[in-house]
Amino acid sequence: MKKRSNLKDPKSLHDTDKAKKQAGKKRTVEKKLPNGGQSSSGWSRRILKAFLGLCVVYVSVPVILRLFPGLLGHVLYSHIFRVPFLVDLSRPEDLSLNHTVNFYLTSEEGISLGVWHTVPDTQWREAQGKELAWYEESLKDGVPVIIYLHGNGGTRGVSHRVGLMNVLTAAGFHVLSLDYRGFAESTGVPSEAGLTTDALYLYEWVKARSGRSPVCLWGHSLGTGVATNAALKVQEQGRHVDAVVLEAPYTNIREEGANHPFGKIYWMFPGFDYFFLDTMALNNVIFPNDENLKTLNTRLLILHAEDDGIVPFHMSQTLFEIARQAQGSEQRVQMVPFSGSLGYKHNGIYKDARLPKIIWDFLRPLVA
Ligand SMILES: *[C@@H]1O[C@H](CO)[C@@H](O)[C@H](O)[C@H]1NC(C)=O
């Protein structure tokens, strides 16, 4: 631009030779500068642009979330990531679950939920070619039934979830694994109340068929809040869930939000509370494990890996203290920590060879 305006400047055309020479010199100097400068200033401009772009994104995310709180649900539940891809969840046998039935429950009008029921491994031969009715009947066999409530993101087909099902059914338990509304092929949109309703519906469905078999709610990560919410609802109706297992639980979603790696990117952001944490609270997203455990009177087992980078280990210690105080019993409230040296992190506790014994020790007293 500058060069062009210089050339077009009529004054320079009518100048003296000296002036012309000087102008020429100036022009060559100018010519050199923009060339040499173009690469360095071009680079710094590009870096500046990238930096400004990042700043815009960084600042926009909280503002957009505050303006469109529904999007926060997408961040929190991450249900649109239907991993693993290319897996037909209606064919659990493709994931070598050869003694599993896939079925659908309607927890509310218009809400269809995908569920798997895997019988204990000892029954795998018998289970071949059996229909849902046979599986329903098997729930009465007196063996503990575990209802698995998974965490956010992905489906019941995610490898660590299938891994846990394999461990628990090999140990001799029934396992039912649910995809809440909006997850996998389940219809509807996730919400805290909705997820709780779905879990409760499956619990009641099982209880209507399980006879004297103990029924245990097992929540992992986000699912721990679903588990304690549902267990408390049952208690409010004057009954009790037989047992609850919380794997990698958080105190409440507000504190978890501030401790989550995503939250940590933003913890210095002015108004972090306002933009993220208050937005969740305003939308009735609380998942208050800590409050729930103050009144929940259910056998409780907490499992947590010390090297968990998603939900910090200390949250389980807090919950353990709350539950111990509330129930005043070493028998009914237990916690098993897993050393950081084992490397289980947030999803890997199912790999521990002691797990079958830990779960049997916890559930055996309930078997009639
Ligand atoms: C079916 O599953 C059981 C339990 O996981 C396993 O022991 C068995 O080998 C499997 N059978 C076949 C034919 O894959």
Tens digit of pLDDT for each residue in 38-97?
577 888 899 999 999 998 888 888 888 888 777 888 888 999 888 888 899 999 999 989
Mark whether 346 is an active-site residue. Answer: yes
**β-strand partners of 102:** 116
Mark whether 179 is an active-site residue. Answer: no
For ligand 1, the distance from its centroid to the CA atom of residue 98, given in whole angstroms, is 6
Mean of all residue pLDDT scores within the chain? 89
**β-strand partners of 193:** none
Q: CB of 245 within 8 A of CB of 299?
A: no
Tens digit of pLDDT for each residue in 245-257?
999 999 999 999 8
Neighbours of 35 (CB within 10 A): 9
pLDDT for the residue 57: 87
Q: What is the distance between the alpha carbons of residues 199 and 194, in angstroms, rounded to a whole number?
A: 9
Q: Is the CB of 121 under 6 A from ligand 1?
A: yes
| pLDDT band, residue 219 (cuts 50/70/90) | very high
Mark whether 79 is an active-site residue. Answer: no
Q: Which of 177, 221, 242, 304 is catalytic?
A: 221
Instruction: For the chain, give every domain's residue range.
Output: 2-55, 81-253+284-366
Tens digit of pLDDT for each residue in 279-311?
888 888 999 999 999 999 999 999 999 999 999
Highest mean pLDDT among 89-98, 110-119, 261-270: 110-119
Pocket-testing residue among 98, 118, 121, 122, ligand 1, by greatest number of atoms within 8 A of Cβ: 98
**Res. 20: pLDDT tops 50:** no
Q: Is the CB of 124 under 6 A from ligand 1?
A: yes
**Res. 231: pLDDT tops 80:** yes
Tens digit of pLDDT for each residue in 167-217?
999 999 999 999 999 999 999 999 999 999 999 999 999 999 999 999 999
Reported CATH class of domain 81-253+284-366: alpha beta
Q: Which has the closest alpha carbon to 220: 173, 180, 191, 262?
A: 180
Q: What is the CA radius of gyration of the chain?
A: 29
Distance of alpha carbon 225 from its chain centroid, rounded? Answer: 11
Residue with the smallest CA separation from ligand 1 atom 2 is 98
